[in-house]
Structures are given as structure tokens and as C-alpha cells.
Amino acid sequence: MLIDLPSDEAFMREALRQAQKAYEADEVPVGAVVVRAGKIIARACNQIELLKDATAHAEMLALTQAEAGVGDWRLTDCNLYVTKEPCAMCAGAIVHVRLRRLIFGCADPRAGAAGSVINLLQLPSLNHRCEITSGVLQNECAAILQDFFQKKRAAQADMQ
């Protein structure tokens, strides 16, 4: 899928703003926005530590908000912008809500489920396949994660 540069970058910048909120809250800095008909209908950042909930990934929270906003669990006419490639849990949710398109910033070579490790979003055996666009603002999306984990490692080293 080709990148729709102006709008894809604009929506990814909002996802990056959400990631920055997570960073400031000492959460892994991942942000997500759901877009329908060219408008943001949901936005979220990781809240795993805050909520003490392993499922409180930015993608899951944004999808839940979007479902509530449209009054349906099906999000067939929506796009999800997320700063990091979704994990298997989030990819499963993307398939279940029948999302039209996923746009992500940086790949996750350890746990990415949109092509890096496995591609759950386009398995022929599932009832839905989602279009995928990767690499939108890749450097910025990777940089916030790298900075976060460098600071975490430095803080751990100082404690030893």
C-alpha cells in the first residue's frame, strides 16, 4: 500500500504526541489514533503501568474508544495509526474489529505481528485481512522508544 504522505504523516504525528504522553508517564512510549472519514475518533497511549493491566496497550485502548464512539464493535471504515508495529494481541484485536487499514511507524523485530515476526493481519485462514502501511515517520517513532529504553537502562545501572 502506498503512503498517503500528507494525511498519514499528520495522523502519525498525533500518535507520536500520544507516545510522548506515555513517555512522560513512564510508560513504554507507544501512541495510537483511530481515524474515520478523515477525522480522529479515538486516541490513546500505553497505560499498562497506570492501570496495572497487561492489555492496556495504546492500540487496544484506542480501538475500545473507537468502538464506543461509533456504537459498534466493527470498525470496517477506520484506520489505525500506531507508532510501533502491533504485538500479537493487538493484531488479533485489529482482525476482530475488521479494521480497514493499519499504519505503523517503526517495526518491532522481537514481537511484531504485522510482518516483522509474523503477519496475523493477512492470514488467509482468518475472516478478515487488513491493509498494512509501515515506516511512516519511522525514525521519529523509533527514536522515542530508543531514548526511553536508554534512560531506563541508565537508571538501572545507577541503582547497581
- Placement of cell 482468518 in the chain: 126
Per-residue model confidence as pLDDT tens digits over 110-140: 999 999 999 999 999 988 999 999 999 999 9
Average pLDDT across the chain, whole number: 95
Going by the DSSP 8-state scheme, the letter that residue 113 receives in this structure is T
Phi and psi at 98, nearest 5°, equal 60, 45
CA 39 to chain centroid:
17
Going by the DSSP 8-state scheme, the letter that residue 121 receives in this structure is G
Phi and psi at 78, nearest 5°, equal -115, 155
For the chain, domains (ranges, CATH) are 5-159 (3.40.140.10)
What are the grid coordinates assigned to 94, written together?
485489529
Per-residue model confidence as pLDDT tens digits over 22-46: 999 999 999 999 999 999 999 999 9
| CA 26 – CA 23 distance, rounded (Å) | 5
So which residues are the catalytic ones? Answer: 59
